[in-house]
Amino acid sequence: MNKTSNITEEQITSIINHATSKSQRIIELYEAGMQVKAIATAMDIRYNFAYNVLSNYTRVHDMMMPTNQNGPTKKQQVIDLVKTGMTNTEISKALATNYNYVYKIAKEYLDNGGVVTKVAG
């Protein structure tokens, strides 16, 4: 299901003001094509609340929850920079991320002989 929003402000307001539960309003906005961040902003709620409602909803209905597809993950960015020979400190500064996270990813990558591993979830 493509989650590109074509919903109008009027439709958003109608759903938000509808007399259903807050969770149901989140689901209705999601089904209308809105992204989690946009839903949280429109409803003036925390992102994690909207995400958790939608995560449960998609799991119960055997749907895939779309993930951020804007580019490589932070882990992949770390690995790519490790391959260039940058130090952990340089990578940490370049990506504005925690040094310990960079160290963990780089160590895991190098300990596995340069093979990227997925953590079972």
Whether 78 and 100 share a structural domain: yes
Instruction: Give the whole-angstrom CA distance, residue 96 versus residue 59.
Output: 33
Instruction: Give the whole-angstrom CA distance, residue 35 versus residue 50.
Output: 10
Asked whether residue 65 is domain-assigned, the answer is no
The pLDDT of residue 100 is: 96
Asked whether residue 116 is domain-assigned, the answer is no
Full-model pTM:
0.51
Whether 55 and 13 share a structural domain: yes
Length of the chain: 121
Whether 53 and 20 share a structural domain: yes
Q: 43-100: per-residue pLDDT in tens? A: 999 999 999 999 999 989 888 776 655 677 889 999 999 999 999 999 999 999 999 9
Whether 92 and 49 share a structural domain: no
Instruction: State the Rg of the chain over Cα.
Output: 19
Asked whether residue 53 is domain-assigned, the answer is yes
Asked whether residue 95 is domain-assigned, the answer is yes
Whether 78 and 106 share a structural domain: yes
Whether 55 and 82 share a structural domain: no
In terms of residue numbers, what domain contains 81?
A: 74-111
Number of domains composing the chain: 2
